[in-house]
Structure 1
Amino acid sequence: MSEAFGSTSISGVLQYPEATESGETQNNIGIIKGVFSMNNILFKFISALLSISLVCFCCGCGKDSGTASSGRRENQEIIEEIAVYYGTYGDKAGKTLAEKLDELEANDSGVAAKWRSVVALWKNSNNDLRLHYDVLPDGLPETDELCLVVLGFQLNPDGTMRDELLERLKVAKASAEKYPDSFVVCTGGGTASDNKDMTEAGAMAAWLIENGISKDRVIVEDKSITTAQNAMFTLDILGERYPQVNKLAIISSDYHIATGHLLFGAESTLRAEAVGKEKYEVISNAAWKAPSGSLSTMFQAGALIELSGDKETAWKIYYDEYDIHELPPLS
């Protein structure tokens, strides 16, 4: 009887017998076709069930490992709340900041350590930083490990420098002459509405060179528009081209020094492998005493958020379009 059913080829296709001398053979063929048809339907049904099970399993795995299912929020959301709470409430936000930093710690201890350091630097910059007027103080390194960072100021529409920027440059010149082995970074991009070819850094560098500072010492960073970008782009250039530099001194108007000190220090911390392994240290400053001007802690919050990578939220804060009322009240 088994011989009458034929055999299976290597390809898996059933080879039917050619003999048709009796109705029995035809009946057997019909039975075989029916069996294989049912098996095929059953196979497809089981395959479909397995596919559905696999999809459900994979989706379940994704939820279990993701932040949503674990109840944890994204680091960026927590970081922005840290910045905005302190920017809005200052030291009154102490308990809330501690809670946010602990939440960040639960997500990533390394990131949390950096932001604890940034918050401590923020408080120090605004509350305890000593300003030095007109020229850098004594006692700084007299080698090329020191770099003076001269922060720019918006140009006139025609590309000429405003008086405030010229006053900052006078402080920079005096400080560069006091520390002749230091480098001098001029940082600031194109802010002249009617002269797209002129940049703050370009105008500053030209003035310093014309007034006796060696061209070999002057570094130009002319792409930045904000103080946060001053920090990011300047450290990029120093890291790529001036490996000997590791000490920074901020030069600007007096009301701008704390923000510059904070952002350059914070950027150094955030790009470091870990806290304590920062490449750059902000060690001093020299200020021009401006008759007016101020920068709020909320502006600083926006700048720190820009350093963290969220330019859109930062610019909402800069232009006073951020709604702090969406935040929960202080703890």
Structure 2
Amino acid sequence: MNKNEVFKRRMKKTGILIGSLLVIGVLLFIIASSGNLTTDDRIGQMISDYGKGQENAWKNIEKNIAKIKEEDQELGAVWENIMNFWSYANTEMEVQLDKVPENLPEDDSFCVVILGKKLNDDGTMTEELIGRLELGLAIAEQYPNCYIAVTGGGTADKNPNVTEGGLMGQWLLEQGLSENRLIVEDKAPDTVGNAANTFSILKEKYESVDSVVILTSDYHVARGSILFHSTFMLDAYKTGTEPIEIAAGVGYYTGEESYESFELQAKGVRSVAENCGYFKAEGEGLSEDVMVGIVAAVIGTVSGIILITLKKKKNH
């Protein structure tokens, strides 16, 4: 048998070996990838995907929701609801700018949540925050049975003795709001904490409330609404209670032409997930498409190295 025939046989065997390795590698990847992404990973992926791709990310989001439902049907439904609302808040939700919403309940089943804003250094409220309060007071006057919640901890750089919620509540009382309608959340310095504390207060002390109106500045309505909605959904799931719905979004007009960035929204949703104790907000995992690409690249590289090595041997 001459050298060429020997080489051809070796190449044939090598080709079979490489083909087998490719098949085995793909099969192993499929098996491994079906189990190596945890629920935390999939939730992190969804948050990251929507934050980066918005409506273009729905194919991957739906895939991850389906996988989560296989593990926990109820949790999958919760996250499906959260992701759908996130999209709705940015694309379809009608925001009332400097207007009192119509067709809200006439009883005490809803609460207007007025979100705070960083105080001036001396501990006084900004004009923007007072504008939110004036709009909230107008809603309270049109719906005399609803509750009014104000939120925000201490954020004055040079006055640690005051809080956003405390000053907001005091202002409303001075304007004539009845004390028994006022709810003050004055502990949390950010929206995620405001949402968690507000949910706890409403569930513990105001059982009649099943929906809220989110009142903030125009640019903050989408982010504020999704952070409250996701918190309400996850805390309800965790405590086995009914979630509190977001009935409407109301914006104090500042002239801003757009909402806060999707990147900032995604950061907030990750913080909500972490704050609720279920998920690793810092871990997004690799998407399955990326993992497929990595495996294919590795296999292709190894195969190329083998072929180059064999060619070098032939030349020698």
1:242-321 alignment, distance < 5 Å: 242-273=206-237, 278-292=242-256, 294-309=259-274
Give me the whole-angstrom Cα distance separating, in 1, the residues matched to 2:222 and 2:271.
Answer: 17
Give me the whole-angstrom Cα distance separating, in 1, the residues matched to 2:71 and 2:276.
Answer: 23
Q: How far off is 1:153 after superposition?
A: 0.5
TM-score, normalised by the number of residues in structure 1:
0.70
Q: Which runs of 5+ in 2 are unaligned?
A: 1-31, 291-316
Give me the whole-angstrom Cα distance separating, in 2, the residues matched to 1:278 and 1:192.
Answer: 36
Give me the whole-angstrom Cα distance separating, in 2, the residues matched to 1:77 and 1:310.
Answer: 16
1:124-143 alignment, distance < 5 Å: 124-143=88-107
Q: Which amino acid aligns with 2:261?
A: S
Secondary structure of 1:132's counterpart equals strand
Q: Does 1:81 align with 2:48?
A: no
Secondary structure of 1:249's counterpart equals strand
Q: Deviations over 1:262-311 (max 9, x none)?
A: 2222222222349x973311112322111237411221212111221259
Q: Which amino acid aligns with 1:301?
A: A
Report if the CA contact (8 A) 2:33-2:288 is conserved.
no
Q: How far off is 1:249 after superposition?
A: 0.8
Given the superposition, is the C-alpha separation of residues 311 and 158 from structure 1 closer, same or farther in structure 2, using an over 3 Å criterion? farther
Secondary structure of 1:204's counterpart equals helix
Give me the whole-angstrom Cα distance separating, in 2, the residues matched to 1:277 and 1:202.
Answer: 29
Q: Does 1:112 align with 2:76?
A: yes
Give me the whole-angstrom Cα distance separating, in 2, the residues matched to 1:278 and 1:261.
Answer: 18
TM-score, normalised by the number of residues in structure 2:
0.73
Partner of 2:297: none
Q: Which amino acid aligns with 1:239?
A: K
Secondary structure of 1:303's counterpart equals helix
Report if the CA contact (8 A) 1:190-1:196 is conserved.
yes
Q: How far off is 1:99 after superposition?
A: 2.1
Q: Which runs of 5+ in 1 are unaligned?
A: 1-67, 317-321
Tell me how many residue pairs correspond in the alignment. 255
With 221-230 and 288-297 compared, the bigger mean Cα shift is at 288-297
Partner of 2:157: 193
Q: Which has the higher helix share?
A: 2
Secondary structure of 1:157's counterpart equals coil
Q: How far off is 1:323 after superposition?
A: 11
Partner of 2:205: 241
Give me the whole-angstrom Cα distance separating, in 2, the residues matched to 1:303 and 1:118.
Answer: 13
Q: Which amino acid aligns with 1:87?
A: G
Question: Which structure carries more relative contact order (alpha carbon 8 Å, separation 6+)?
Answer: 2
Give me the whole-angstrom Cα distance separating, in 2, the residues matched to 1:158 and 1:267.
Answer: 32
Partner of 2:194: 230
Give me the whole-angstrom Cα distance separating, in 2, the residues matched to 1:69 and 1:133.
Answer: 47
Secondary structure of 1:76's counterpart equals helix
Q: Deviations over 1:219-254 (max 9, x none)?
A: 100111221212111011111111111121111111
Q: Identity over the aligned pairs, expressed in percent?
A: 35
